Amino acid sequence: MLDDEKAIPSQLAAVQNHSRHFADFLFVYPVISRRSRGLSLGVNLNPDKVCNFDCVYCEVDRRQPGQANRVDTARMQQELAALIRLVKTGALANEPRFSEAPALARDIKDIALSGDGEPTMVANFAACVQAVADVKRAEGLAETKLVLITNAAGLDKADVKRGLEILDANRGEVWAKLDAGTEPYFRRVNRTPIQFERILKNLHATARARPIVIQSLFFRLNGLLMPPDELAAYCARLNAIVLAGGQLKEVHAYTIARPAPEPGATKLTAEELDAIAAAIREQTRLTVLTFA
């Protein structure tokens, strides 16, 4: 448990509310993120809700249609600039959703490329990254972190690689998903036609080019914790990345924050998550941060 995390209780309404809808914005939204240690401005590159994973624990309701079928970079830039100015003027802190902890809504910790699907699936990914970087610079936030939250499936695409280079030049960081150690468990949890080997290759290649964060969600699946042999296989995957020259900055081990649509996916207790994190530390010697 981090000291920074203790300052942001998970019970706060602003922490529980990760809605990607704010005011009349289509592409941007503010959230209090414990993993970001404060205010994160989200840029939704998937307002169409398109994703190449169908994770058991996913909170996105795909029964309802998305708001747009493409990212309008000009509008996205305008919205992001407007949201940043709401933070700067203190207007965001006065919003009812931040009433329990208005101070958290006054300091932008990062701008996150994320949303209602997999951001690397957007056709103009590099252009979107450049557009966000341009606003960040124009608004005097050159030192603010730019984060890509990804399932790693698209990190081998040419346009995405160009986007990663733009990230690198703008205090960017890749937070890449890894929820399994073996192909069968990967298929059970992430439910995708994409081969697990592709995910692993992408993690290896991306981590060799820059330090990355591994983000892993642990939960009970139909009442059962991740089996010990699966956790050992997961740790072996992390070790293999490091042995191949990959740079893993840290591992974010977290659990379900809000009720998942599928009843078989349930939240871990803080003690259960801490035990998993301890096992990962012991088997990999990596820095592991927990978010229960």
147-199 per-position pLDDT tens digit: 999 999 999 999 999 999 999 999 999 999 999 999 999 999 999 999 999 99
Residues 5 and 34: beta-carbon distance below 8 Å:
yes
| Closest-CA residue to 145 (of 167, 163, 172, 106) | 172
One digit per residue, the tens of pLDDT, for the chain of length 292 reads: 343 444 465 555 555 555 566 778 999 999 988 888 899 999 999 998 889 999 999 988 766 666 767 899 999 999 999 999 999 999 999 998 888 889 999 999 999 999 899 999 999 999 999 999 999 999 999 889 999 999 999 999 999 999 999 999 999 999 999 999 999 999 999 999 999 999 999 999 999 999 999 999 999 999 999 999 999 999 999 999 999 999 999 999 999 987 777 889 999 999 999 999 999 999 999 999 999 8
With b for 16 or more beta-carbon neighbours within 10 A and e for fewer, the 28-62 pattern comes to: bbbbbbbbbbbbbbbbbbbbbbbbebebbbbebee
User: Within 10 Å of residue 142's Cβ, how many Cβ atoms?
Assistant: 11
Residues 46 and 38: beta-carbon distance below 8 Å:
no
- Look at the domain 3-291 and name its fold: TIM Barrel (3.20.20)
User: Where do we find the tokens 């699966």?
Assistant: 230
264-to-55, 57, 60, 276 alpha-carbon distances in Å: 12, 9, 16, 20
DSSP assignment of the chain: --HHHHTS-TTSHHHH---S--TT-SSEEEEEETTTTEEEEEEES-TT---S---TT----TTSPPS-SS--HHHHHHHHHHHHHHHHHTTGGGSGGGTT-GGGGSSEEEEEEE-SS-GGGSTTHHHHHHHHHHHHHHTT-TTSEEEEEE-STTTTSHHHHHHHHHHHTTTEEEEEE---SSHHHHHHHH--SS-HHHHHHHHHHHHHHS-EEEEEE--EETTBPPPHHHHHHHHHHHHHHHHTT--EEEEEEE---S--SSTTEEPPPHHHHHHHHHHHHHHH---EEEE-
CA 31, chain centre distance (Å): 12
Instruction: Tell me the longest C-alpha to C-alpha distance in the chain.
Output: 52
114-to-4, 13, 55, 129, 239 alpha-carbon distances in Å: 23, 21, 15, 11, 27
Residues 33 and 109: beta-carbon distance below 8 Å:
yes
